[in-house]
Amino acid sequence: MILTASHLLRELRWVPPAVIIIGSMTPFLNQWVIIRVLTLPLPSRVYQRLEERLYSNYQAVVGFFYEIWSGVEFCFYGDHIPDNPENTLYLSNHQCSVDWVLPEVLCVKQGGYGGRAKYILKDALRFLPLYGWYLGMRGGIFVKRNKTRDQESMIRGLKNFVEKDMPVWLVIFPEGTRYDMRESGSLKRAKSQEYATAAGLPPLQHILMPRTTGFNLALEQVRGHFQAVYDLTIYYEGYGCATAEGGRTRGPPPDLFGFYSGQCSKVHVHVRRVPIEDIPTTPEEQKAWMYDAFLKKDKLISSLLETGSFPAPRFTHTLPLSQCLLPLVLLALSVGVALSHRYGRRWMLATVMIFTAITLISGFKSRLRT
C-alpha cells in the first residue's frame, strides 16, 4: 500500500508545476499590461528592462520546477558558461519540448536575466494560446519555410535586437524539427542520412542534418551584436536501456509531464563556447562549420551511449534557490488566491479568453501580411 502511494505521488509530481506555471500566466500577463501602460510615456528601454525582469522572474519559477522539484540530476561537461551576461547565438540538438526550458534556465543562472532568450520559431507557434503572441511580441522570429519571406522576417527581427540594444541569447535549433526516435520519425531520419550521403558527408546517426539559414543571416546582419556561440549537445537519460555489452540503447526523450514525473533520471549537457571571432565569415564556410559542429554532437552522443557520460571534464552549474524562491512564492500565492475565490476564477478565465483572442487575431493578421 505504501509503495503504491509512493508511486502515485511520483507519477503526480507534474501537477504542482502544471498548476503554477500555467495558472500563473494570467497574473503574469496582467502584470505585463500594467508595465506596458505605465511605461508608454517613458523611453522604450525602461519598458524593455522591466519586461525582461518580469519574464526572468517567471523563468526562475520554471527553473525551480525544472531543476529542483523534478529531482533530475544535471550533468554539465566541457566549457563553463561565463557568469557575466553576454550576447550569444545558442545552438542545440532538438528532441522534445523540454529543450526549450534549458536556455531559459541557463539565462537565469547567467546573471539572473532569463528574459534575454529569444527564439527562431515555426510559424504555427503564433497560434499557441497565450504564449504564441507573447513570444512574438518580445522578439521571437517566426518562420514558415518560405525562403524569401522568412529571410525578410529574420532580417527585421535581427536588426530590431541591435536598434533596441537588446541583450539576447538567440536560440536556434538548426535541425528545424525534433529528432524522433519512434517509428514515426524514421522517415525524417532516413531523409537526413540520404541528404548527407548525396552531399558526400558522413550520415549522422543520433541527430538530423542541420539547416544554416538562421545562423548565416544572424552572422551576416548583426554579427557584431554577439560575443560568442554556445554550442550545446543534450541527452536525456532514463528511457535508455543497458545492453549486454555494457552500453546503452537510446529511447524517446520525456515530454514535460514525463520529465517532472521521474521518466528522466539525468540530463547530460555538453557545452562548447566558441568566441564569435572564431566563426567563419562566408556562408559556405559557416555551413561547413555547422556540419562539423553537428558531426561532433553525433560523436558525443555515440560516446555517451558507450560509456555513460560525455568525454569531457564534468562540472556543476546549479540554479541558486535564492534566485527562484521569492518569485515562486509570489506566483504560487497569486494562483492560490485567484483559484480560491469565484471572482478570481472568473478573472483568470477572462484573461485567458482575452489573450487567446489576441493571439489568434495577431496570428491571422501576420499570416495575411505575408
Give 238-276 as a DSSP string.
Answer: SS-EE-TTS-EE--PPP-HHHHHTTS--EEEEEEEEEEG
Domain boundaries, the chain: 2-369
pLDDT at residue 245 above 60?
A: no
What pLDDT does residue 244 have? 42
Q: What is the pLDDT of residues 169-217, one digit of tens each?
A: 999 999 988 887 766 667 788 888 888 888 888 899 999 999 888 899 8
Q: What is the pLDDT of residues 265-304, one digit of tens each?
A: 899 999 999 999 999 999 999 999 999 999 999 999 999 9
What pLDDT does residue 134 have? 81
pTM here? 0.87
Lowest mean pLDDT across 71-75, 139-143, 279-283: 139-143
Lowest mean pLDDT across 26-30, 35-39, 131-135: 131-135
- In this structure, the strands spanning 169-172 and 117-122 are parallel
d(CA 276, CA 279): 5
What pLDDT does residue 242 have? 46
Lowest mean pLDDT across 16-25, 92-101, 116-125, 356-365: 356-365
- Check residues 73 and 241 and name the one with the higher pLDDT: 73
CA distances to 33, 50, 243, 264, 309 from 240, rounded to whole Å, are 45, 43, 9, 10, 13
